[in-house]
Amino acid sequence: MAIPKLSDKERAAALEKAKEARIKRAEVREKLKTGKLTLKQVVDMRDDPVVGRMKVSTLIETLPGYGKAKAAKIMTELQIAESRRLRGLGERQRAALLERLG
């Protein structure tokens, strides 16, 4: 697929939209880290177009006491692909994730 030719205005709008999405995902991760949101609340936000694009591994790494190694181990145990995003979790994977970490 070829990269579309964007005008300067369109490019600026796309960059602003991407920036807002990154900021919202960072806010959700921060709230999860500080306990203002639970893992279940974040997982239930998977239909949100911005939050749903967050990688599951990043979500696990956000939890206190979890890093890249523990996140990778949990993802392997639960048979969740490394590239899986929150929106793409199946019902069984979602339930297993909440049972394991919730």
What are the φ/ψ torsions at residue 85 (nearest 5 degrees)?
-105, 160
Percent of the chain with pLDDT over 90: 90
| % residues pLDDT > 70 (the chain) | 99
Residue 1 has what pLDDT? 67
Is the pLDDT at 30 greater than 80, yes or no?
yes
Structure confidence at residue 27 (pLDDT): 96
Output the six-digit token pair for 22: 């990154």
Contact in structure between 52 and 46 (CB atoms under 8 Å): yes
Mean pLDDT, the chain, rounded, equals 93
- pTM value is 0.83
